[in-house]
Amino acid sequence: MKRNILLSLCLAIPVLTSAQIEIGKGYVYSQTNGMMSHTISAIHSVNFEGFYNFRGSNFAVGVEIGGGSYGIEKSERHYGFENGMEMLAPVIVTNNIFNSGLMLRYDLTEGTALTPYAIGKAGLSRFGTRLSVEDPRADHTVECPVPIVDEAIHSDYSFTTAIGGGLRYDMENLFSFLSSNMLFIDFNATFVRGSVVEYMSVNAPGINGNMINGEVRDVDLQFTTAAQPEVIHEYHTGYLYRTPMELISYRLAVVFRFP
């Protein structure tokens, strides 16, 4: 048994030492398609990724995580305090998304300044909405907590797959002090499809019930606070939609490869 473990480690060492690790950070702009395009205009996010690239191979495997926002709404609503005072309080509703997944990349060329590649992904996207009520008395006293309310309204998940292509530019060609295959500017575009997901969108571009098969519901949030548990506040926070996830994502990133 010990002999087999030792043999496995000996075989793994040359593979690990022949691999290259890449890390990258980028901005992602996602344009929605299909039924989702009637409820979300666009998604802005940042992502972090890491690739495990074998020397002498055009293939690389990796993981990515990222998050962003696709809507924010600020308004003022009447809020009653426990002492009977009623004031206009700032109410903020935000729509957020979090992505994670596995990736497979294939470089179409080797040893060139500009490297085209194909990429495929499989992962999970979480859509969530939060409501925050800020204390309008915060400017007058430091004893009042800010915000009064901060809680999740709704969240749901979509299983996703994506396919696309990109270009990676070796920055050695612009800066002579850099080594080859060390620092890159990376751009790619992917077509993303996901399972049906429920989500809210405060900045919906325009909704037609027929366009999304009538899957639209009002969302009213009821809550109390520790300071006034006997008072129930209710806000109409938006609409809940149910559509398949479908979008085209464009990503621009800086990538560093460890030697």
Separation between Cα atoms, residue 198 and residue 128, nearest integer Å = 9
Does some domain include residue 148? yes
pLDDT at 92: 83
Contact 93, 131 (CB under 8 A): yes
Separation between Cα atoms, residue 109 and residue 112, nearest integer Å = 7
Is residue 127 exposed (0-12), middle (13-18) or buried (19+ Cβ within 10 Å)? buried
pLDDT at 66: 96
Does some domain include residue 132? yes
Specify the CATH number for the domain of residue 160: 2.40.160.20
Residues of the chain with pLDDT below 50 are: 2, 5-18, 140, 208-214, 224, 226
Phi, psi of 135 (to 5 degrees): -80, 115
Does some domain include residue 11? no
Does some domain include residue 31? yes
pLDDT at 7: 45
Does some domain include residue 13? no
Phi, psi of 41 (to 5 degrees): -75, -50
Could you list the residue range(s) of the whole structural domain that residue 232 is in?
A: 19-257
What angle (nearest 5°) sits at the alpha carbon of residue 208, between those of residues 202 and 212?
A: 90
For tokens 């990724």, name the residue. 49
Separation between Cα atoms, residue 114 and residue 186, nearest integer Å = 10
The count of structural domains within the chain is 1
Helical (H) or strand (E) element with 17: helix 2-17
Does some domain include residue 2? no
Does some domain include residue 88? yes
pLDDT at 211: 46
Does some domain include residue 1? no
